[in-house]
Amino acid sequence: MPASTRHHRALAVFVHCLGILAAVPALPAAAPEAAAAPRPAAVTPPPALPRPAAGTPRPAAPTPTTGPTAIGPTAIGPPVPVAARATSAEPTPPSAPPAVATPTRAVVPAPPPPVTVAVAPESSPAPRYRIHVRNVGNSPVDTTVRQELPSGSSATAISAGGRSSRSGGSTAEVTWRLRLPAHSSTTLGTALTATAPGQPLTAPACAFTSDGSRPYDCATATWQAAAAAPAAEATEAPPWRRYPVLLAGLGILLLISAAVAWVWRRRRGRRGRRITAAALADGGRGTIYPRPATPSPSRRRRTPPVWLLLGAAVVVLAGVIGTAGWTATRQVSSIDTQKQPTSGAWRGSGVAGPMGVPLRESAFEFTVYRMTCGAAGSAATAPGASAPPPGARSCQATVGVRNLTGSQQPWHGQLQRAYLPGNRWVSTDESATRAANLGRDVFANPVAAGSRVVLPLVFTVDGRDPPRQLELRSGVFSAGVRVQMP
């Protein structure tokens, strides 16, 4: 074949391929739904029924029925559409989460107790208290009322039905066993001996269940002596008797004296120079020596004497040292050496007080009304808890907690501590505390805003000595309060 023919033929093939490539995009595209849809399964024809023999009666045709009950053992339905529909169905995507989070359920305050207690002191020379106990329920209630007596005092008069005893072998208490009808109230009374003339006494009282294990309500009151004169307030000394004022006055006096002496000496020198110049003056011409034609000598600038500068410096230094010493003495004397620091207290300042006195920290107001300890080995093992050490005993504190903030506040059992001798401490025994509260976990839910609860806290301690101090706090970064045990 000639070369020109081969070239023309190759060019024709190349042009033909370009035309095919240009025509491919113009082809109609297949529908994506049809391409993505799976191919339906092949229809299987039903098996052929055997033809009956001659003379055999043919079975009657089944009567068609409607509804789901028409499908029976003899019904032959085409399964192809169902299989095709199940195959082509797309999975349902999961529903999206809600745009707004589900709000946290507000804490419902605990229902009010069926028995309430109020304590009021009387205005009398000796400590006297009135205890009002009221049943606010619709049924009679058996209750045990206990009033803790201050350390060192004893009961001199008790209303009918009460008796004095010892709680835990440490402090004295007065106990009444009452049966209150529905919507009734009663008033109890006690008179105590004063530990010191004019010293205030705090005596809290609580109403417990009939067995005396769980508190209904508690209250406290502090008696003040009616005839006791108010303590004289410390008045500051008059200004002329204060050391800084005296030092400052002495310094000012020395400065004024030095200034007066310097001015007096300067005026005296000027007067002497004038007298000398007048004596040397020419009587005929009336000129004063030296004459104007004679150049006047240069005058030296006068400076304060050295003794005046040194004296002023000494006075100022003495005043500064005296003021600094007086200020430091006042600050050191104002430090409370009896206040113990609280470790980890980052919010607020630690507050300490005796039992029965409300003590406030950053969020809660704590009041310890009662503390009792059992005998050695009385610590019980709660279900699911580890066994206490041999000789351990349980100490139960009746504590009132009031939320003073406008929002609910959580608190934790590990932050409530009982301090033992030797600066040892133990946290709340949560399993024993749950058992003392009839199986309710008092630390599981926060305390509602503005609410108050009275509950027992149990501490498992070892040794013979009871706790000397309780440390209660609402949070890790709270200063907390320290309650001294009697």
Has residue 321 got a pLDDT over 90?
no
CA distances for 385 relative to 336, 379, 440, angstroms: 43, 12, 16
Query: Does residue 407 lie in a domain region?
Result: yes
329 within 8 A of 319, measured Cβ to Cβ: no
The per-residue pLDDT for range 239-251, each reduced to its tens digit, is 666 667 777 777 7
Identify the pLDDT of residue 87.
40
pLDDT tier for residue 282 given thresholds of 50, 70 and 90: low
Q: Which of 33-37, 211-215, 337-341, 469-473 has the highest mean pLDDT?
A: 469-473
Has residue 344 got a pLDDT over 80?
no
Query: Does residue 243 lie in a domain region?
Result: no
**Domain limit, last residue, from 167, 192, 223:** 223
For residue 199, the domain's CATH number is 2.60.40.290
Query: Does residue 310 lie in a domain region?
Result: no
Domain span including residue 412:
351-484
Identify the pLDDT of residue 49.
46
Query: Does residue 334 lie in a domain region?
Result: no
For residue 467, the domain's CATH number is 2.60.40.1240
First to last CA, the chain: 129
Query: Does residue 54 lie in a domain region?
Result: no
203 within 8 A of 220, measured Cβ to Cβ: yes
Query: Does residue 298 lie in a domain region?
Result: no
Q: What is the mean pLDDT of residues 384-397?
A: 76
**pTM exceeding 0.75:** no
**Domain limit, last residue, from 223, 256, 274:** 223
Query: Does residue 16 lie in a domain region?
Result: no
**Domain limit, last residue, from 223, 250, 276:** 223
Q: Which residues pair with 144 in a beta bridge?
A: 177, 208
Q: Which residues pair with 360 in a beta bridge?
A: 365
How far is Cα 357 from Cα 366, in angstroms, rounded to an integer? 8
For the chain, how many structural domains are there in total?
Answer: 2
145 within 8 A of 133, measured Cβ to Cβ: yes
398 within 8 A of 206, measured Cβ to Cβ: yes
What residue has token string 């002596």?
Answer: 225
Better-scored residue on pLDDT, 356 or 249: 356
Identify the pLDDT of residue 82.
37
How far is Cα 222 from Cα 238, in angstroms, rounded to an integer? 37
How far is Cα 149 from Cα 131, in angstroms, rounded to an integer? 13
Query: Does residue 59 lie in a domain region?
Result: no
Has residue 274 got a pLDDT over 90?
no
Has residue 462 got a pLDDT over 50?
yes
**HEC-encoded secondary structure of the chain:** CCHHHHHHHHHHHHHHHHHHHHHCCCCCCCCHHHHHCCCCCCCCCCCCCCCCCCCCCCCCCCCCCCCHHHCCCCCCCCCHHHHHHHHHCCCCCCCCCCCCCCCCCCCCCCCCCCEEEEEEECCCCCCEEEEEEEECCCCCEEEEEEEECCCCCCEEEECCCCEEEEECCCEEEEEEEEEECCCCEEEEEEEECCCCCCCCEECCEEEECCCCCCEEEEECCEECCCCCCCCCCCCCCCHHHCHHHHHHHHHHHHHHHHHHHHHHHHHHHHHHHHHHHHHCCCCCCCCCCCCCCCCCCCCCCCCCCHHHHHHHHHHHHHHHHHHHHHHHHHHHHCCCCCCCCCCCCCECCCEEEECCCCEECCCEEEEEEEEEECCCCCCCCCCCCCCCCCCCEEEEEEEEEEECCCCCECCCHHHCEEEECCCEEEECCHHHHHHHCCCCCCCCCCECCCCEEEEEEEEEECCCCCCCEEEECCCCCECCEEEECC
How far is Cα 373 from Cα 465, in angstroms, rounded to an integer? 10
The per-residue pLDDT for range 426-450, each reduced to its tens digit, is 999 999 999 999 889 999 989 999 9
pLDDT tier for residue 385 given thresholds of 50, 70 and 90: low
